Structure 1
Amino acid sequence: MKTLRAIPLVPFVLFALALPAASHELWIAPSEYQVSSDAPVVVNLRNGQGFEGIDLAWFDKRILRFDRLQNGSVTPVEGRSGDIPAARIETAGDGLIVLVYESAPSTLTYSEWEKFTDFAKHKDLDGTLESHAARALPQTGFKEVYSRYSKALIGAGQAKGQDRAFGLEIEFVALANPYTDPMDQGLPVQVNYRGEPRRDAQIEVFERAPTGAVAISTLRTDDNGQATIPVKPGHEYLLDSVGMREPAPDLAKDKGAVWESLWAAMTFRIPG
């Protein structure tokens, strides 16, 4: 398992995963991935596993950032406290819409050591367990702080445009437009951590067929932090990649956490 020191004395391990119930994926789930330019865009924040979950209400304190990129312009996405769906863009406009969401940090507590070890072993994260032991951390009752960094690609009108890096702590960047570019060779993406490509990072791919059936697979990024996602017409996709590191001292003190996970997600649909 690889580590790095982008934050002084703070190891970082990148992996993709489906954690126990306390740590599900969170993704942006628009009601439609392709809309006419004069139509609204209804946006759900969904939390769950296996590309199935529940819709979350909008709460200002849980959201650090929610933006919309379209035609080179970035504007905030606004919502009202308690609303489900979380947000609504009244007029889609013309061009690719990239939605960018960043959550406020939350915490979970591991009450069973087996859940942590099973997760680490299943994802080949032996270094995490070794670090846990080396730091003389307890096997139960320890906390993890986690943050979400989710993006969605929506085709509005002619859907022209391109995703870009937003400087999120961890994020996916689509290197092609799934609504206008040829997808016969797949969708190329890049995973970044603190603005740098994440090499040899695992990506978990959730693929929903028109029938509703979900297939799950994994692949890894290359030396440029890039990977090509095999895609099929008419299928919806959720990409998930997660990083784990020791939290910075101030965050560890504030949250009482000994681990910090950073969750990157991206959703899109292939026309057809």
Structure 2
Amino acid sequence: MKLSRLVLAVTLGLSATSVYSHEFWIEPQKFQVENGEIMEIYLKNGQNFVGSKLSYFEKQFSRFELAQGDVLTPAQGRSGDQPALTTSVDQDGLLVVLHETTPTTLKYKEWAKFAKFAAHKNFKNAEADHKAAGWPSENFRESYTRHVKALIAVGTGEGVDQNYGMETEFVALSNPYGDGFDGNMQVQLFFENMPRSNTQVEAFERAPDKTVSITLHQTDDNGIAQIPVKPAHTYLFDAVVLQPYTKDDKAVWQTLWAALTFQVPK
């Protein structure tokens, strides 16, 4: 069975592997707003598309912007704000919210936890690479950053996403709010502005009754994945880069997490 067709339908809290990864995403109170309507935009961290709301702290991000086409506007907030951003946009069209965090480190006290994370994210060579580098099998650290986007419809929501130069990034090639959307969400995954081919994409689907299902997909040779989506459902796409950390000796691994959130209209 192809990975792109592998469905892991799970109920909340029952995924054995999800405990080894915590997603980070942008979630507005409403994904579809009228022109000029006040928007409450939350930063969330959690599992299975259920998470805690995080506050606005400048030291915790390197980038926080609103984009419509080529026009980018810095997200303005005050320390401790929750929601992290409250704003409005008058211009009709597709609004893209961009957020990149500053690095954070975590410690793996035991090998098993890292091994399960690596297996879940389909990093087949992680164990061999770790041993070849001579790194310890316990009490080692990982440095991680988040690189997340959300698609919001302002008015008609018409428009296109683009590559905004994030370190790793999903670019939506389909607009779920646009006329003629056929229920297939096409995205292209990048790392350092190059397409990530043959890479696992984890898709979280939240139904109107809050039930969450998870499916695994894989990008093609051009870094493109096509994922079927349903009306009135909310989605989080997630993909991770794992590479050796080379900046200093505070960590041995580095992960960079790309995420994209959106909602399909009824």
TM-based fold match above 0.5 = yes
Letter of the 1:262 counterpart: L
Shift of 1:87: 0.7
Distance in 2, matches of 1:169 and 1:71, equals 19
Shift of 1:185: 4.4
1:269 pairs with 2:263:
yes
Distance in 1, matches of 2:119 and 2:237, equals 22
Q: Residue deviations 1:56-101, cap 9 Å, x none? A: 0111100100011114311111111011110111345311100010
Aligned to 2:36: 38
Q: Residue deviations 1:180-216, cap 9 Å, x none? A: 1433240110000111111001000000111111110
For 1:50-199, list aligned pairs within 5 A. Answer: 50-199=48-197
Aligned to 2:210: 212
Using the TM superposition, name which of 86-95 and 144-153 deviates more.
86-95
Letter of the 1:103 counterpart: T
Residues 92 and 258 (structure 1), Cα distance of their counterparts in 2 relative to 1, 3 Å cut: farther
Letter of the 1:261 counterpart: T
Letter of the 2:128 counterpart: E
Distance in 2, matches of 1:49 and 1:222, equals 26
Shift of 1:20: 4.1
Aligned to 2:46: 48
Segments of structure 2 that go 5 or more residues without pairing to the other structure are 1-16
Shift of 1:169: 1.2
Distance in 1, matches of 2:229 and 2:237, equals 12
1:252 pairs with 2:248:
yes
Residues 36 and 111 (structure 1), Cα distance of their counterparts in 2 relative to 1, 3 Å cut: same
Q: Please provide the CA RMSD for this pair.
A: 1.4
Residues 211 and 19 (structure 1), Cα distance of their counterparts in 2 relative to 1, 3 Å cut: closer
SS in 1 for 2:176: coil
TM-score, normalised relative to structure 1: 0.88
SS in 2 for 1:47: strand
Segments of structure 1 that go 5 or more residues without pairing to the other structure are 1-17
TM-score, normalised relative to structure 2: 0.90
Letter of the 1:269 counterpart: Q
Aligned to 1:221: 219
Distance in 2, matches of 1:231 and 1:136, equals 44
Distance in 1, matches of 2:127 and 2:69, equals 45
Distance in 2, matches of 1:114 and 1:169, equals 29
Q: Is the 8 A contact 1:233 1:270 kept in 2?
A: yes
SS in 2 for 1:150: strand
Distance in 2, matches of 1:35 and 1:204, equals 27
Q: Is the 8 A contact 1:183 1:231 kept in 2?
A: no
Q: Residue deviations 1:16-43, cap 9 Å, x none? A: xx6646x511000000000000201111
User: How many pairs does the alignment contain?
Assistant: 250
Quote the sequence identity (%).
44
